Amino acid sequence: MPYPFVYTMQKKKILLGDEAVAQGAIDAGISGSYAYPGTPSTEINEYVRSTEKGKIHCAWSPNEKVAYEEALGHSWAGKRALIAMKHVGLNVAADPFMSSAIAGINGGMVLAVADDPGMHSSQNEQDSRCYADFAKVPCFEPTDQQEAYDFTREAFDLSEKNNIPVMVRLVTRLSHTRTIVAVGAKRKQNSLRPARDNKRWTVLPAYARRMFKEHLAKYDSLQKFSEKRSSLSLRGKRLGVIASGIAYNYLMENAPKDISVLKINFYPLPMKSIEKLAKHVKKLIVIEEGYPFIERQLNRFKIHGKLDGTLPLTGELTPDIVRKAIGMKAHPGRKASSLLKIRPPRLCVGCPHASTYDVINGVKKRFPKLRSFGDIGCYTLGALPPYNAIDTCIDMGASIGMAKGAVDAGVRPVIAVIGDSTFTHSGMTSLLKAAKENTDMTVFILDNDTTAMTGGQETLANDQRLVDIVKGLGVDERHIRVIDPVPTRLKENIAIVQKEIPYKGLSVIIPVRACVTMVKKR
């Protein structure tokens, strides 16, 4: 189909980029939406849940790997499925992602991944296009919210037609900008038609070798489609710009005169258009959000971009950065104020995590050598003043494994601090191992009855269920202590924890109290 699409029964809606992806998937006829929350991708599944609950399976998954596998099973059964996650989520789901790419799909399957250049709310700025290339999975990169809708819709057709999962790559500014989007009529959901070809779904080496070859050929053949989804405008010969995704907006915002532009929205790259542009112009710049991903693939041309310092290698692009890179003068403006002070986020007033950190700091007075391994969630703010109660935070679920590793190396006393959702995401297996070895450490699992950091999604295990899981993993019942993290019980809680620290084995402390902000919302 030529782009832009025209829909029958077109309607206008105000949508965030994330919501446009969700609406595109809904209108493409998905029957399953699978996700684990993570900024800036959370609103994708939130939207499906708020508009289609009951019609589309859309409960939160415990982590991204499970979400991916659930979606894959859904696709195997012949139905269309959407998977949504933030960029680092794909590290967790990388295993099924890499292998399912080779095996292919049955019902259309689209993976929406939201990158976070500039690290507005993430621990790194990895570029998901590298994963798409790694797995040789085709990837759309929308420029705006309308394209987010259009391309997600189209991605499902492309996925089914070519028997391959398809990625839609988003970035924070695209995900979290709201605008008016034209949407079309809903396509019917697929009927149940489970896959029959067992060999294709079983990546035993003998089968996988052949399939991998076919997979690579299929990927390369998509270059033709890529030419259609990019647009080349040949004008002046002085400067040519290759701009992908939202980088194109920053270029056009500056209304550069008389330059030639290639707008890229799909990978594998449209090599023919790139060659045409390269032949036409004297100087070539690549502008892309994230890693120098396109740039590195074009090293046979003389290219300017992130690698030669024309654009910064880290952080987020802005219209101003792009303006400078194409040689235009900055707009006249005003000088920034010298009075500014940063205003970091902090735990809400009355947050149960604050009380837990008061307990930990109270215990530290008695055990000044205590080291504490943290994890990701609202409670990561315990790393900052006034608490300074956490020594590490690396990735979801790292606290328990790292704490155990440190104990194995001889550090004492050691605690780990992990949230309830993070625990079910990827802490349980580490605790299983620690329980098996009865590792000499104390693990805090903070049960605030929600996934607070990302806006309060329901969690999979709280209260008694959480205690039962901990028991089931093999932790000695006598050393599972449930406490109520409120300021009025500070002394009593410190006393309980102080008893567990010297115990030469594994203890688990579960502070149970609901997140005050979610209670207000409900």
Partner 1 sequence: MKCDIILAGVGGQGILTLSYAIVNACLDEGYNVLQSEIHGMSQRGGAVYAHLRISDKKIYSDMIPKGRADIILGTEPLEALRHLDHLTPEGKIITSSVPVKNIIYPDEAKVLDELRRHGALLLDSTDLARKAGSIKAQNIVMLGAVSRFLPLKTLKMYIKKLFSKKGKEIVKINLLAFDLGLITKCWEI
The residues of the shown chain that bind ligand SF4, judged by CB under 6 A, are: 347-348, 351, 353, 378, 448, 452, 515-517
3-class DSSP assignment, residue 25: helix
DSSP annotation of 43 reads: H
Minimum CB–partner distance for residue 516 and ligand SF4 (Å) = 4
Choosing among partner 1, ligand TPP, ligand SF4, none, which partner's interface includes residue 282 (Cβ < 5 to 8 Å by kind)? none
Query: How many residues belong to the site for ligand TPP (CB under 6 A)?
Result: 23
Long-range contacts of 407-411 (CB under 8 A, 24+ apart): 407/439, 407/440, 407/441, 408/439, 411/371
Nearer to ligand SF4, 329 or 520 (CB): 520
Asked if 87 touches ligand TPP (CB under 6 A), the answer is no
Asked if 123 touches partner 1 (CB under 8 A), the answer is no
Both tokens of 285, joined, read 């710049």
Choosing among ligand TPP, ligand SF4, partner 1, none, which partner's interface includes residue 330 (Cβ < 5 to 8 Å by kind)? partner 1
Q: Compose the 168-187 pattern: x for residues touching partner 1 by CB under 8 A, - for all others.
A: ----xxx-xxxxx-------
Asked if 256 touches ligand TPP (CB under 6 A), the answer is no
Q: Rounded distance, CA 409 to CA 439, Å? A: 12
Asked if 513 touches partner 1 (CB under 8 A), the answer is no
Both tokens of 334, joined, read 């005003």
What's the number of CA atoms in the CB half-sphere (13 Å) around residue 188? Answer: 3
Residue nearest ligand TPP, Cβ-based: 419
Nearer to ligand TPP, 219 or 357 (CB): 357
Q: Rounded distance, CA 283 to CA 307, Å? A: 15
DSSP annotation of 302 reads: -
Nearer to ligand SF4, 321 or 516 (CB): 516
Which residue has 């449930």 as its token pair?
482
Query: How many residues belong to the site for partner 1 (CB under 8 A)?
Result: 53
Choosing among ligand TPP, partner 1, ligand SF4, none, which partner's interface includes residue 334 (Cβ < 5 to 8 Å by kind)? partner 1
Asked if 170 touches ligand TPP (CB under 6 A), the answer is no
Choosing among ligand TPP, partner 1, ligand SF4, none, which partner's interface includes residue 484 (Cβ < 5 to 8 Å by kind)? none
Nearer to partner 1, 172 or 493 (CB): 172
Q: Rounded distance, CA 327 to CA 177, Å? A: 28
Do 185 and 7 form a contact (C-beta atoms < 8 A)?
A: yes
Q: How far is CA 211 from the centre of its chain?
A: 28
Asked if 369 touches partner 1 (CB under 8 A), the answer is no
**DSSP string spanning 367-401?**
-TT-EEE--SSGGGGGGSTTT---SB--STTHHHH
**Ramachandran area for residue 78 (φ above 0: left; ψ -120 to 50: alpha; else beta):** left
Asked if 274 touches partner 1 (CB under 8 A), the answer is no
Minimum CB–partner distance for residue 515 and partner 1 (Å) = 9
3-class DSSP assignment, residue 512: strand
Q: Compose the 2-41 pattern: x for residues touching partner 1 by CB under 8 A, - for all others.
A: ----------x-x------------------------xx-
Choosing among ligand SF4, partner 1, ligand TPP, none, which partner's interface includes residue 174 (Cβ < 5 to 8 Å by kind)? partner 1
Minimum CB–partner distance for residue 19 and partner 1 (Å) = 13
Q: Which of 63, 65, 165, 66 is nearest to 112 (CA)?
A: 165
Q: Rounded distance, CA 455 to CA 39, Å? A: 9
Q: Compose the 328-367 pattern: x for residues touching partner 1 by CB under 8 A, - for all others.
A: --xxxxxxxx-xxxxxxxxxxx-x----------------
DSSP annotation of 328 reads: P
Choosing among ligand TPP, partner 1, ligand SF4, none, which partner's interface includes residue 419 (Cβ < 5 to 8 Å by kind)? ligand TPP
Do 64 and 85 form a contact (C-beta atoms < 8 A)?
A: yes
Nearer to ligand TPP, 37 or 305 (CB): 37
Minimum CB–partner distance for residue 508 and ligand TPP (Å) = 15
3-class DSSP assignment, residue 475: coil
Both tokens of 104, joined, read 């292919």
Q: Rounded distance, CA 256 to CA 38, Å? A: 36
Nearer to partner 1, 74 or 425 (CB): 425
Stretch 441-500 residues interacting with ligand TPP (CB under 6 A): 448, 450-454, 459
Q: Rounded distance, CA 48 to CA 308, Å? A: 43
Binding site for partner 1 (CB under 8 A): 12, 14, 39-40, 120-121, 172-174, 176-180, 246, 248-250, 252-254, 318-320, 323, 330-337, 339-349, 351, 378, 381, 452-456, 517
